[in-house]
Amino acid sequence: MSRALIIVDVQPTFCEGGELGVDGGNAVAERIADYVRAHRDDYAFIATTQDWHIVPGRHFSEQPDFVDTWPPHGVAGTVNAQLHPAIAALNVDHHFKKGQYSAAYSGFEGIEDNSDRQQSRAEVRIATEEGHTLVNALRKAGIGDVDVVGIAESHCVKETALDAVKFGFHVRVFTDITVPVSEDLGELARKQMAEAGVVLEPSR
């Protein structure tokens, strides 16, 4: 079976200086770009995911608890919701936007959207119903193995990896090209992923 690389939410909104900046985010973006340039031929399919929030309801809050509610971030159409420049320069073909009108952590909740449009609720619903989803794209490409990298290991990387396992893929997370919100949350995420069968190892 062929292998895919999923680059999760490497956006300025999640890097230093962003609305939900993670320490080490910019460095991880550069390391991912270096990895892709060195290993691009290892992959039959490469995709990015992005938080692309338009009206995500209770996901945004003026008094966030940082568990279920958050300050505004990944706002569709803003510079900080775009791909990090290091990732944008890779010219990846497949981009999955998520969280337009609700909370979304896993890349498997998104739809393929290779534009910077702000799609209507109806457009997002129709795209989902028509199957323009990550799992269908991977299956169409004959993918059996999935590598996951990005930001943040403790949140959207973890949820994307866990969903990939649920959909029947063999999954690796490269521990040196992802970063958690905090070390405690990273340790918990790695435990959850390992228990689900995700292989955790450094990139090669």
**Active-site residue numbers?**
9, 98, 156
Residues in the chain: 204
User: Cβ(87)–Cβ(29) under 8 Å?
Assistant: yes
* CA separation for the pair 115, 97 (Å, rounded): 10
Q: Which are the contacts of 58, defined by CB distance < 8 A and separation ≥ 6?
A: 68, 69, 103
User: In which element (H, E) is residue 5 found?
Assistant: strand 2-8
